[in-house]
Structure 1
């Protein structure tokens, strides 16, 4: 598919993107659970009772959130870098490509894509829903990173 021009490739609609996000949620949650286990064991070994919770809005809680966000970023970036697809994008034939619609995006563009996509999700997915009103069906993170998500044709 290296020679297919961007205009002839089908755009990735918002429904396909949401399905891919839901599918990708499962391996990411599994990795979060492992990270939480490490934090819990470390918290217990530091002298706290095994049933004592981490205090809300404590520094440790924010560190755990940051670690989970970094794990999610590593999962997405490694997947996009490796073949343009995460596990959730494969069943629906979605792929992240550079703005030309053919070549692989550079790492800097993928980092921007993940960061802006994260902010978009914090605002209720507003950047994702933007694709419904955009002429080219691009989301905020597509525009900011100079990438796009395309739906591959059936084999």
Structure 2
């Protein structure tokens, strides 16, 4: 499978997440005003808030059908190593590893198996639905 498809599927999801972050930021900024950057505790709370939104967005799709909107658009699916849709624990692990390794996890796409580091660690894989149907 092409690592480019995985990259573009994740880029698509990132664009959707940015839109969600902007919409979710409006109430926070209205509540705190534009100068909440002066309060380190509020900055930390805001960052945790955005990470929580990201967690809910990604794990909801992973657990329900293995396809975020980006994966669905590129006809890809996230599954466990045994071929089933991942469960909540595996989704939590994958999200944790993705946050921990952030950009380093993408190096796996340059390897022969073209698998993200978080997928290797969480024992998940992204499959191409077009190739598996053949």
Pair in the same fold by TM > 0.5: yes
RMSD value, Cα? 1.8
The alignment's TM-score, normalised by the length of structure 2, stands at 0.87
**How many residues of Structure 1 are paired with residues of Structure 2 in the alignment?**
132
Judge conservation of contact 1:80–1:110 (CA < 8 Å) in 2.
Answer: yes
Q: Which runs of 5+ in 2 are unaligned?
A: none
Change (3 A) 1:115 1:16: same
Higher RCO (C-alpha 8 Å, min separation 6): 1
Q: 2:16 aligns with which of 14, 17, 27?
A: 27
Judge conservation of contact 2:67–2:77 (CA < 8 Å) in 1.
Answer: yes
The alignment's TM-score, normalised by the length of structure 1, stands at 0.76
- Identify the structure with the greater helix proportion: 2
Q: Which runs of 5+ in 1 are unaligned?
A: 1-10, 45-51
Q: Which has the larger radius of gyration?
A: 1
Following TM superposition, the consecutive aligned residue runs of length 4 or more in structure 1 with deviations greater than 4 angstroms are: none
> What's the CA shift for 1:131?
3.1
